[in-house]
Amino acid sequence: MSDQTKLKEVFAGEYWLADVIKQLLEDNHIPAFLNNQYLGTVAPYLADAGGMPHVTIVVNETEAAKALRLIDDYQNGSPADEIAD
């Protein structure tokens, strides 16, 4: 059995929104990491080549389902007090 943590992508989009969602996840005790956060702001034409989103968020695979629910609730306008555990 491997002791390595498996990460799963749960969001892809513009930096400003990825940063907001990362904070939402961390406020709900889900460690989250941004990929391409600097490339997406300094040279978005490189990170966005071929129409791909600038920045992605990854979380531990075991937290992915909870993270996806939180993101979906946030994007559909659920109040923060209903989201937090």
Q: Quick one: DSSP state of residue 38?
A: H
At 5, the pLDDT band (50, 70, 90 cuts) reads confident
For the chain, what is the mean pLDDT?
Answer: 82
What is the pLDDT at residue 57? 97
| Structural domains in the chain, sorted by start | 10-79 (3.30.70)
Summarize pLDDT for 35-57 with one digit per residue, the tens.
987 665 566 666 555 555 578 99
In this prediction, residue 55 carries a pLDDT of 86
Helix (H) or strand (E) holding 32: strand 32-35
Q: Report d(CA 85, CA 80) in Å as an integer.
A: 10
Mean pLDDT of 10-33: 95
Q: Residue 27 above 70 pLDDT?
A: yes
